[in-house]
Amino acid sequence: MKSKIRFSSIVGFIVLLLLILPLAMVVVTSFGTEATISFPIKGFTFEWYHNLFQQPDFVDGMKMSFIVAIIASCLALLVGIPAVYALTRFQIHRRNWFQNIFLSPALIPEIVIGFALYQTLVISFGLPLFISLLIGHFLLCLPYVIRLLTAGMLDLDKSIEEAAWMVGYNKVITFFKIVIPNIKQSIMAAFILSFINSFNNIPITLFMNGPSLNMLPTSILNYLENNYDPTVSAVSVILMIITAALMMIAEKYLGLNKLV
């Protein structure tokens, strides 16, 4: 018993080291004065953070990634909430079949989704890049939304809705006045997870990327091809902070163990 506890704490410690050390390294190098990323640092500066916001590539990329993540997450919720309600509340022929379809994007390698969408939407149908990218990110977000909302709906006693019908509310009003307020934590958590996944996504984004459409992950990669200075560390730190902050909010709403 005791040795088991010791073993798991050692493993835990190693995992933590593997995770924390490189991240700590990135944080430290982002403040280094050297012109290339190096460790240990010789001096301390905010110059790279300053430089970051001088690069139109990064600023535009961040804006665009932000916009895409917001729209894709909202679309996924707009489709996901009614879909989950139907899946959990109505007698549906082939319920599992539908459920699996909604969840399937999570099972296909993202790079394959990206490539396939690029081939069909952009090349064959000639859809604008931005629309194709939104569709890709929407597909990426949908499984998270479906999973989190299904858990939320299953927790909600069906007779609560019936009680509202009994006192005079039709099913549509009941949906907005009773169902939505009681699953709003799941909705919030689904939105945050969708947002993070879209914002940090590379595989799908790589394909739907062009001179007119500049996304943050690809601008980082582009920048790295020509420069190896701590600006990249600085942008990584900012990404980490945004993600961690969002995760903390999500965790507060739903508990992390339910999220993954």
Partner 1 sequence: MAQIKINNLSHSYQKNKQILKDLSLDIHDGELLSILGPSGCGKTTMLRLISGLLPMQEGSIIVAGGDISKVPVYKRNFGMVFQSYALFPHMTIFQNVAFGLKRKKLSKSEIFEKTLSILKTTGLLDLKDRMPNELSGGQQQRVSLARALAINPDVLLLDEPLSNLDAKLRIEMREEISRLQKKMKMTTIFVTHDQEECFAISDRVAVMNHGKIEQLDTPQNIFRHPKTKFVAAFVGYENFVPKQWAKEHNWRYNDIISGSQLTIRPEKIELGSNENILNGKVLVKNFLGNNYQYIVETELGRMKVDTQQENYEINDDIGLSFSEKSLIELEDGD
Q: What is the smallest separation between the CB atom of 92 and partner 1, expressed in angstroms?
A: 16
Q: How many residues bind partner 1 (CB under 8 A)?
A: 16
Q: How far apart are CB 95 and partner 1 at their closest, in Å? A: 17
| Shortest Å distance, C-beta 172 to partner 1 | 10
Closest distance between partner 1 and the C-beta of residue 85, in Å? Answer: 17
Q: Is 90 in the site for partner 1 (CB under 8 A)?
A: no
Q: Which residues contact 127 (CB under 8 A, 6 or more apart)?
A: 121, 135
- Which of residues 178 and 216 has its CB atom nearest to partner 1 in the complex? 178
Q: For helices 129-154 and 110-117, what crossing angle results, to 10°?
A: 140
Q: Which is nearer to partner 1, 15 or 163 (CB)?
A: 163
Q: Which is nearer to partner 1, 170 or 212 (CB)?
A: 170
Q: How far is CA 21 from CA 14, 28, 162, in A?
A: 10, 10, 54
Q: How far is the CB of 166 from partner 1 (least distance, A)?
A: 4
15 or 173: CB nearest partner 1: 173
Between 18 and 155, name the residue whose CB sits nearer to partner 1: 155
What does the H/E/C string look like for 6-53? HHHHHHHHHHHHHHHHHHHHHHHHCCECCCCCCCCCCCECCHHHHHHH
Any idea of the CA torsion for 248, 142, 175, 192, to the nearest 10 degrees?
A: 10
CA-to-CA distance for 112 and 96, rounded, in angstroms?
24
**Judged by CB under 8 A, which of 35, 162, 176, 248 binds partner 1?**
162
Query: What's the half-sphere exposure (Cβ side, CA atoms, 13 Å) at 48?
Result: 27
Compute the distance between CA of residue 216 and CA of residue 200 in angstroms, rounded to an integer.
8
Q: Establish if 154 lies at the interface with partner 1 (CB under 8 A).
A: no
CB of 255 to partner 1, least distance (A): 17
| 154 in Cβ contact with 88 (< 8 Å) | yes
Binding mask 179-218 for partner 1 (x = CB under 8 A): --xx------------------------------------
- Token duo for residue 238: 């900012």
CB-based contact 135:192 (threshold 8 Å): no
Q: Shortest approach of partner 1 to residue 256 CB, angstroms?
A: 23
Residues 163-182 that bind partner 1 (CB under 8 A): 163-171, 178, 181-182
- Only segment of 3-11, 24-32, 74-82, 153-161 that touches partner 1 (CB under 8 A): 153-161
Residue 160 interacts with partner 1 (CB under 8 A): yes or no: yes
User: Which residues contact partner 1 (rule: CB under 8 A)?
Assistant: 157, 159-160, 162-171, 178, 181-182
